[in-house]
Amino acid sequence: MTIKKRVYKEPANPVGTVAELFAGVGGFRIGLAAAGWKTVFSNQWEPSTKVQHASDVYIAKFGEEGHSNEDISKVEKLPKKVDLLVGGFPCQDYSVAKTLNTSKGLRGKKGVLWWEILRLVSQHQPKFIFLENVDRLLKSPSSQRGRDFAVMLNTLGEEGYEIEWRVVNSAEYGFPQRRIRVFIVARKKKAGKKNPKQIILKSGILARALPVESTENEVTEIDLSDDADVISAKFNKGSEKSPFLSAGYFVDGIAYTLKTQAKESAEKSVLGDVLQKESEVPEEYWVSSTKLKDWKYLKGAKSIEREHKGSGTKYNYAEGKMAFPDLLTNPSRTILTGEGGTTPSRFKHIIQTKNGWRRLTPVELERLNGFPDDWTKFDANGKVVSDGKRAFFMGNALVIGLIEKVGKVIANELIS
């Protein structure tokens, strides 16, 4: 399948206005623009680096008007009229890159940013909210599985919202990357009797945007009517499993959850569909025969004897075999932030073509997320961004086509 290259275009007649938090290089904005939304405010700040690379790329593409490059805690207010608030809020404390027993959840350094989102929601009461995170969010932290998500549902519900969530694998909806994320959509609560199962499977915003079918007959109910501090202290203590399943709906203090599976797209895109012409691939992306053995070793199954730093106790560290090379006939694995650089790696992609073995280029990584070609090539000053940083951006980004699908349904809700 040939993937149509995306071109960014501001909507001529916007259906509504957007505030984009934790904006990165603008994935939400691109997808929502295609769905008819106009972004009037954006915020991007990376506390761990002096140079604000992502913000610089954002400004290069969209301009400085309405853009804030400061700690979100210093953002006192949003524009007066914002219909939709969106954001892929930092996921470091929920990421699979961290082991479960080191996951800090809302108490982690970046996890506390939830309260900044809530502060702005409370002040401005947007009609809709659309958030994205890693699916580990539903299981965080390791000591109280699902507590953090329970607190989020409770506190957002207290602001007058009904909330849907869904774990989404982009490849199941026809996109060329297996990127699994949790989508959270909230709207101002509507009067009337609710049918939670119907909302989860048929009538909800996420159900209409990304169709699913149920794999279980009954909806599980979770009582979250206590105060947030009580939930934080007592929720799910002693359990090794989160009660939150792959899809759900929250209203009036009760979360309803159900395991679902995607109604998969008839049209499928794969890794091979995003490749550039071989003549366009820079020389440094080709892997020499001398380096190939290192790639094979790192991708292969292995058992390594290690020693605990504290006790000195020896143990075997085991790793399973990974795909080598990454098959061009399948959707790609999830892009990680460490995808860049020439160093052999267990987690970077490596492909084999008729001309040899090579890594994926920045343009190919952009295409896997649905960005226009060379979207991240230049910063606000016209300076070329390093390939390693461009790969980092894509490891932190989202699949734009999914955002467009959800954005269109929210737009219909706004104007109906």
Of the candidates 336, 333, 401, which has an alpha carbon nearest to the alpha carbon of residue 369?
401
Place of tokens 């980004």: 397
Instruction: Give the pLDDT confidence score for residue 402 in this predicted structure.
Output: 98
In-domain check, residue 144: yes
In-domain check, residue 51: yes
In Å, how far are 96, 104, 312, 326, 373 from 92, measured between CA atoms? 9, 9, 29, 26, 27
CATH of residue 29's domain is 3.40.50.150
How many CB atoms within 10 Å of residue 172? Answer: 18
In-domain check, residue 404: yes
Instruction: Give the pLDDT confidence score for residue 306 in this predicted structure.
Output: 84
What b-and-e string marks burial along 133-153, b requiring 16 or more CB atoms within 10 Å of the CB? bbbbbbbbbeebbbbbbbbbb
Is residue 315 scored above 60 in pLDDT? yes
Question: pLDDT, tens digit, for every residue of 159-209?
Answer: 999 999 999 999 999 999 999 999 999 999 988 889 999 999 999 999 999
Q: How confident is the model at residue 102 (pLDDT cuts 50, 70, 90)?
A: low
Instruction: Give the pLDDT confidence score for residue 311 in this predicted structure.
Output: 80
In-domain check, residue 380: no
Is residue 105 scored above 80 in pLDDT? no
What one-letter code names the amino acid at 199? I
In-domain check, residue 225: yes
Question: pLDDT, tens digit, for every residue of 287-299?
Answer: 999 999 999 999 9
Instruction: Give the pLDDT confidence score for residue 100 in this predicted structure.
Output: 54
Question: pLDDT, tens digit, for every residue of 328-345?
Answer: 999 999 999 999 999 999
Is residue 91 part of the annotated active site? The answer reads yes
Question: pLDDT, tens digit, for every residue of 28-50?
Answer: 999 999 999 999 999 999 988 88
Kindly list the strands in the beta sheet with 220-223, ordered across the sheet, starting from the edge strand earlier in the chain.
Answer: 67-68, 37-43, 16-21, 84-87, 128-134, 180-188, 161-169, 247-251, 254-258, 220-223
Q: What is the DSSP pairing of strand 84-87 with strand 212-214? A: unpaired
Question: pLDDT, tens digit, for every residue of 388-412?
Answer: 999 999 999 999 999 999 999 999 9
Q: What is the pTM of this model?
A: 0.93
Q: What is the DSSP pairing of strand 212-214 with strand 260-262? A: antiparallel
Question: pLDDT, tens digit, for every residue of 226-282?
Answer: 999 899 989 999 899 999 999 999 999 999 999 999 999 999 999 999 999 999 999
In-domain check, residue 251: yes
- R_g over Cα of the chain: 22
Is 243 in contact with 146 (CB distance < 8 Å)? Answer: yes
Q: How confident is the model at residue 110 (pLDDT cuts 50, 70, 90)?
A: low
Is residue 96 scored above 50 in pLDDT? no
In-domain check, residue 347: no
Given the residues 91, 129, 207, 391, select the one marked as catalytic: 91
Would you state the structure tokens that stand for residue 118, as one six-digit string?
């809530």
Q: What is the domain range of residue 111?
A: 16-266+398-415
Alpha-carbon span 143 to 145, nearest angstrom: 6
Is 359 in a helix, a strand, or coil? Answer: coil
Instruction: Give the pLDDT confidence score for residue 216 in this predicted structure.
Output: 75
Of the chain, the percentage scoring pLDDT greater than 70 comes to: 94
Q: Indicate the number of domains in the chain.
A: 1
Question: pLDDT, tens digit, for every residue of 115-129?
Answer: 899 999 999 999 999
What one-letter code names the amino acid at 298? L
Alpha-carbon span 281 to 354, nearest angstrom: 13
In-domain check, residue 229: yes
Phi-psi region of 356 (alpha: psi -120 to 50; beta: other; left: phi over 0): left
